[in-house]
Homo-oligomer: A and B are copies of this chain.
Amino acid sequence: MVTVLKLGGSVITDKDRPETLDGEALAAAADAIAAALADGAVDDLVVVHGGGSFGHHHADEHGVTTDTGSRDAGEVMAVHGAVKTLNRFVLSRLHDRDVPALPVHPLSAASRDADAALSMPTDQVATMLDEGFVPVLHGDGVVHAGEGVTVVSGDELVTHLARRLAADRVGLCSTVPGVLDADGDVIPEIRAFEDAADALGASDSTDVTGGMAAKVRELLALGAPSYVFGPDALADFLAGDDVGTRIE
């Protein structure tokens, strides 16, 4: 059973300080992952983490977004180097807990065509799962026809991987406890965009890599249940429970 888990960049880093880890939050997430693998609650697990204050800082500085690129190798390496550093922290915390995590860097594997469509073959990820490893991907630069190198977000990687690997469950662990309604309460289930359209309308423009509304549309289009939840619910998600907002 394939599970794709996104650890939000804002969960594992300190958003307000460039290239600063939230070591406690990352350790707690690594504990939950290690425990779920050790007791067999999860078997085939793919982890994707955002770039957090490592990636965004450099991407903002050089004006690189998901559709505006750079052809300056120094700028690309600033973004790529920073997210690789964050990836090394994530891998190291997982290795400390005997999770056989291996890095998969999207800049090495993915590309966008002139219409910005993402292409990333996933045989390497599927073979890592079959061989008992936990592939760990991350928001990164991606070479983009006609644009140089643009950004690929962790969320985009999650839906791409979930589709290509025919994932059974998808989890988005972020700093909010779920998709919130107009009163700020968690919507327990979304089966159609209309279920949450009122609440989501306003958040469409809050995130450069696509707001919650776009995220919900993407997740509704997957063939698997997805969950949006906060860090406190990670262990329960990995145990197979319904947590936060279920989207299917």
Q: Are B123 and A149 in contact (CB under 8 A)?
A: no
Q: Which residues does chain B contribute within 8 Å of A91, judged by CB atoms?
A: 77
Closest Cβ of chain B to A36, distance in Å, is: 17
Chain A positions 86-120 with a Cβ under 8 Å from a chain B Cβ: 91, 95, 99-112, 119
Question: How many copies of this chain does one complex carry?
Answer: 2
Q: Are B109 and A127 in contact (CB under 8 A)?
A: no
- In the complex, A225 has a CB within 8 A of chain B: no
Complex Cα spacing A89 to B147, Å: 27
Chain A positions 112-136 with a Cβ under 8 Å from a chain B Cβ: 112, 119, 121, 123-124, 126-128, 130-133
Complex Cα spacing A37 to B65, Å: 29
Q: Are B108 and A104 in contact (CB under 8 A)?
A: yes
Q: A77-B91, A102-B76, A131-B143 are in contact. Are A124 and B108 (CB under 8 A)?
A: yes
Q: Are A95 and B121 in contact (CB under 8 A)?
A: no
- In the complex, A145 has a CB within 8 A of chain B: yes
Q: Are A124 and B95 in contact (CB under 8 A)?
A: no
Listed A/B pairs (17) with beta-carbon separation below 8 Å = A72-B100, A73-B102, A74-B95, A76-B102, A77-B95, A77-B102, A103-B107, A105-B105, A106-B108, A107-B124, A108-B124, A110-B124, A112-B127, A119-B123, A128-B143, A131-B149, A133-B149
